[in-house]
Amino acid sequence: MGEQREKLLRYYRGTEGAEEAEHLVDLAEQAEKSQKFRLTDFLDPFGQEIAETIAANYPSLVIDFDGGYQGAERCRAMFRDRDFGGSPAYDIAVVRATWNGTFVRLGHRDVLGSLMGLGIERGKIGDILATGDSARILCDKKMAEYLIANLKEIGSAAVEVAEDDLAAIAPKEERAKEIRATVASLRVDSIAAAGFGFSRSRAAADIKAEKLKLNWQSVKSASQTVKQGDVLSMRGRGRLEVEEIRGLTKKGRTSVVLKRYL
């Protein structure tokens, strides 16, 4: 077991996922030792990828994910012994914060900022589904009561908070458009510029500001190369998948098919 642990931690050492990997390995080993299950906090897609990699290295375990509704981006993972016969719950609740949308416009960033201002750990909060006058906040079940009692305002707006029904959340329908482009190279700045529709210099500036992520890790250099299946993401601009790399054109450029999720 020690060897397996060291191999996994060595793999993630020096990356943004190092601390998360250590915590997830602990949970996986607890599930294996108890022959039952262990539930994680809410994980972003990169965290989910780490959890899947870890589970694949423990043959006695299976892993499942749930974010409270179909299509959730942030999900809890459950490491479970293959022979465990129970049906453990993911302990996810949703609360709804409402405000007067006539006088103030609030979004995801405002809601998240207010939650962090209450000292809540990010891992206890799942997706935040904001509209013009309300936001559904997916959270750890134990956190729901605390939010109802303590979340009094978002930004400068007074809010009312009550528990809501998970079943009332519609499955997420992702809109996507296909982009066929030719790029000078498979550098991440070239692909981002082609997919998000801005210049390479703008892409380079966003990379420098750590706004662009490749496979849910911050891009460190504009010269990083991408491969088929990679995912680029940028808050406010959505997600971009490198669906196909088709090869060189007669002019020596690379033909790619990208899928942009809006």
Query: pLDDT per residue over 149-167, tens digit each?
Result: 999 999 889 999 999 999 9
Q: Which of 176, 186, 177, 198 lies closest to 246, judged by CA?
A: 186
Model confidence, pTM: 0.75
CATH number for 92-168 (one of 3.40.50.1100, 3.20.20.190, 3.30.70.330, 3.30.465.10): it is 3.30.70.330
Question: Which residues, in sequence order, are CB contacts of 240 under 8 Å at separation 6+?
Answer: 191, 192, 195, 196, 231, 232, 233, 258, 259, 260, 261
What does the pLDDT look like over 178-215, one tens digit per residue? 999 999 999 999 999 999 999 989 988 888 888 888 88
> How far is 9 from 21, CA to CA, in rounded Å?
7
Domain definitions of the chain by residue range:
2-81, 92-168, 176-261
Fold of 176-261: 3.10.290
Domain at 2-81, CATH from 3.40.50.1100, 3.40.50.970, 3.30.1370.160, 3.40.50.720: 3.30.1370.160
- Cβ pair 9, 22 in contact under 8 A: yes
- Cα separation, 61 vs 83, whole angstroms: 9
| Confidence (pLDDT) at 235 | 67
